[in-house]
Each structure stands twice: as C-alpha cells, then as structure tokens.
Amino acid sequence: MDSLEFAESIYLNLPYEPNDQQVKLIASLARFVTDTSADPRVFLLNGYAGTGKTSLTGALVRTLRQADIKVVLLAPTGRAAKVFGAFARYPASTIHRRIYHSDTAGGILSYSRLPAENRLTNAVFIVDEASMIGNDTDADGRSLLTDLIEYVYSGEGCRMMLLGDTAQLPPVGLTRSPAMDPDVLRASGLKVSHAVMTKVVRQGSGSGILYNATRLRRQMLDEPVPAPSLILDRFTDCRAVDSADLEDAISKSYSDLPEGDTLVITRSNKRAVLFNLAIRSRILGREEELCRGERLMVAKNNYLWSAKVKTLDFVANGDMAVVESIHSTETKYGLRFADVHLRLTDRDDISFDCKILLDTLTSESPALEAAKAGELYAAALADPDLFPTASDKTRMRILRSDPYVNALQVKYAYAVTCHKAQGGQWPSVFVDAGYVPPDSSSLDLLRWYYTALTRATASVQIINPGSSAR
C-alpha cells in the first residue's frame, strides 16, 4: 500500500468529514507510515482539546490493522491506557508493562530498569498522553523517555508516534514536556516529523468545556500572558458554583451518576484531604475511616502486590481502586495497616488481596512522608522476629517481600490534584478555583485550568471562580 492508498483508507475510516488541517495531517501520517527508509523516525502530534485527535488516531489504528501492520498502543499510566484503548477500540497498555523486564520467581518481584527486547518488525508504536512522560534520570542516568526510545527502535523497522497536548501541565518540576519537544527527540538521534492540530471541530455542539479550553489555550499565546479568563454564563455544561451551593451541587452529581463518575480537582494535597473528608462524611455519610466500596487512589508505585497477578506488571501511582472487602486492621511499627481485597478500576477491573497503609489516607504529602518511611524501614530492620539472624543480602531480600514495608500507599479518590487527574476523564468534574498559590505564574494557572477542564466529558463546575469567570 503506497502513501496515497493509505491516506484514502484513513479518510474512509474517519466518522466525519475532515477539515483542511486534518486532510494535511492524514497525508503526513500516510507518508510517515509508508516510508521505508532506515532512519529512526518519530511522528510528534500535538493535538489540542476538541481538534479531533482521538477520532483521527482511531482511524489510523483501524487502517494499520487493515494493512496488516502491527500496532502497539501505550500510555504513561493505567488510567490513560484504559481511556486510550477505549477511544481507539484496540487494547492499550502502560509503557512500563511493555518495555521493562519483571521476574516474580519465588513470589518476589524483581524489577529491572533495563528495557526488554523489542522483537517486533515494522511495527508502529502509538503513545498517548506523551506530555506526561518525564525525563528524570536514575542513578545510571536512565529515564522513562530514553528507555522508551531505546526499546522501540531496537525492533527492526519500528517507528513511533507521540501524541500529546502541550497546553496541559508538564511533568512535575518541569516547565516543558520533554517527550513533546522536537529538540529533545532529535538529540536522541531521531528524525522528527511534527504536526499541530489547532482547529476545533466539536464546538458546534455548544460545549462550554471545549469553548473555554480553546479560550485558555489562546490566552497562553498572548504577550504578556494574561490571568485566566473563563466564559460560563452562556453554557449549560460549564458553570460556576459558590461555597453556599457547593454541597448541594456535589450531592446532586453523586445522586445522578455512579459514584466513580464525579471528581473534584484541586490545587494541593492539603485541599484534596479537606474535600475528601467532607465528601465522605457529608455526601456519602461514611463514619468509619475505611469502608467497603471505598474509592482510593494509589499514591506510590508498588511492585509487590502485583506479583501473583499475571496480567498486572505493577500497581501504578495514580491508579484508581475500589475496596471490595476489609479483612482486618492493625498497628505495627508505629503505623496503621489494613488487609483488603482491592479492585483496580483503571486496569480492566483486576482485583487482588493486599495490605494498605492507612496513614497516607489523610496525609498532606503526596505519599508517606520521607521521615516516616525511614522510620518504618528502620523498625522493620530492627524487628527480631523478622531478622533473628541474617546476612545483609538476606535482609534485603526479606524486606523486598515484606508486606508492611511494601504496603500499598493510598489516598481517598473523591478529590485529587490536577497532576493526579491527568490521563483520565470523568463525566462530572468540580474545579477548585478558590485558592491560588502566591508564586503561581499566569502561564502555570492557564495550563492548570486547561488541564482540569479537559478532564470532564459532560459537565464542569468551577468552585468560587471570582473575577476569573463571567
């Protein structure tokens, strides 16, 4: 199939008539896929909210399969992979599961940062939410981005597409998303094709979410960059709610929709704790610290509890879960634990028994504080029942499989920070605009609002927007 035939096939697989920008993009994608040169090539697609990136990607996936070209869909998190797979109507997995070795021999998980071998030939790897991929290096100077590149291009004739939205928040601690930066990719030895989708195709439905997302993105290009400005009074799906009406609004959302379809997005872990406690007590009527049916968010990657689940590589930071049952609770090493049966809602409803750490539920830090983590580690090492006599090597092996040291760190999942919400979508989203950190720049705020608004699929309510909305 030549590039013209491939482009025609993408066009026929689209569920709508493409605009002129999309027609040009289809032609570029067809040339990229059918190019037989030996150069390691990457296609960087920056698509803003409402521009049809998802539909076009789905058409591309269907065309690749019709042409018998192997396609692999990836995303940084389990939640993002689930959303991507649903839109593309083809299975997607996390980057970690695809590219890294794991060994569970003896019931103990061994995790290697060295990429596995890519044995595919002429495959196209499509990575969604690439703006979330960081380039933080480990002790060996490796990062997830460099490992992903090494894995993909170790396969004969393989190539990669990186899909993202640079208007969203970059990875924590960075001002730009390295995986969406052509210069970073060229420095890795890749030949870069780059396209940007800017023309919104879905605003005809009167979506306030898309209208304001587009408005925020355009404000990012102004000089000087202005403070965020939203238009809410002309839309039904995007509106303001003040503190006096907030409880009623959230309560109505929970009564109208399944419990997992409503989310509050806020600016800090401290405010997330306050919202979570208020929703549990005043909306859901939960008095116990942990209840059956509790919705939790994983706060730190964990490699122990997935060892006995064949289809689960690891439990990822940001995964959403539901407590199916509670077996017991206890206090040990100065911390509180619970043995539960957990179901991961972002991982095709995978479930397993595990031990969770209760202290992190209401912690104002992203996960267990470093000092408490150190105390837990030291207490376990000093436990005579755990280590009656053992060499240092044996101690480390035992600690790697100790259920207390490796207890799953979780938080309530009714309200989360914007970074934690990235990669997911919910029908009803409440955006907490009531607190602005004093050191926030206008660009940071615009990206924060843009990312928060685009997490919603049906309704956004802005909490106490003040002068930022009308």
What pLDDT digit, counting tens, does each position of 115-143 carry?
Answer: 678 999 999 999 999 999 988 776 566 78
Least confident of 97-101, 140-144, 408-412: 140-144
Read off the pLDDT of residues 263-311 as tens digits, 9 standing for 90 and up: 999 999 999 999 999 999 999 999 999 999 999 999 988 888 988 787 7
> In this predicted structure, what is the pLDDT of residue 390?
61
CA 372 to mean position of chain CA atoms: 27
Read off the pLDDT of residues 143-197 as tens digits, 9 standing for 90 and up: 889 999 999 999 999 999 999 999 999 988 888 899 999 999 999 999 999 999 9
pTM score, whole prediction: 0.87
CA dihedral defined by 54, 59, 61, 62, rounded to 10 degrees? Answer: 140
Mean pLDDT, rounded, for 22-47: 93
Statement: residue 101 has pLDDT above 90: no
Q: Are the C-beta atoms of residues 218 and 451 closer than 8 Å to each other?
A: no
For the chain, percent of residues with pLDDT exceeding 70: 93
Task: Please spell the DSSP secondary structure of 439-454, one letter per residue.
Answer: T--HHHHHHHHHHHHT
Read off the pLDDT of residues 427-437 as tens digits, 9 standing for 90 and up: 999 999 977 77
> In this predicted structure, what is the pLDDT of residue 174?
85
Statement: residue 203 has pLDDT above 50: no
Q: How confident is the model at residue 364 (pLDDT cuts 50, 70, 90)?
A: very high
Q: How confident is the model at residue 82 (pLDDT cuts 50, 70, 90)?
A: confident
Burial profile 262-286: b = 16 or more Cβ within 10 angstroms, e = fewer: bbbbbbebebbbebbbbbbeebbeb
Find the angle CA(329)-CA(334)-CA(335) to the nearest 5 degrees.
45
Q: Write down the CATH superfamily of domain 3-197.
A: P-loop containing nucleotide triphosphate hydrolases (3.40.50.300)
List the end-to-end C-alpha distance of the chain, in Å, as a whole number.
53
Q: What six digits make up the tokens of 252?
A: 């109505």
> In this predicted structure, what is the pLDDT of residue 103?
47
For the chain, percent of residues with pLDDT exceeding 90: 62
Q: How confident is the model at residue 462 (pLDDT cuts 50, 70, 90)?
A: very high
Helix (H, G, I), strand (E, B) or coil at 74: strand
Helices (H) and strands (E) in the chain, counts: 14, 18
Q: Where in the chain is the domain with CATH 3.40.50.300?
A: 3-197, 203-284+415-468
3.40.50.300, 1.20.1640.10, 3.30.1380.20, 3.30.70.100: CATH of 203-284+415-468: 3.40.50.300
Half-sphere exposure of 407 (CA within 13 A, CB side): 29
Find the angle CA(61)-CA(65)-CA(69) to the nearest 5 degrees.
105
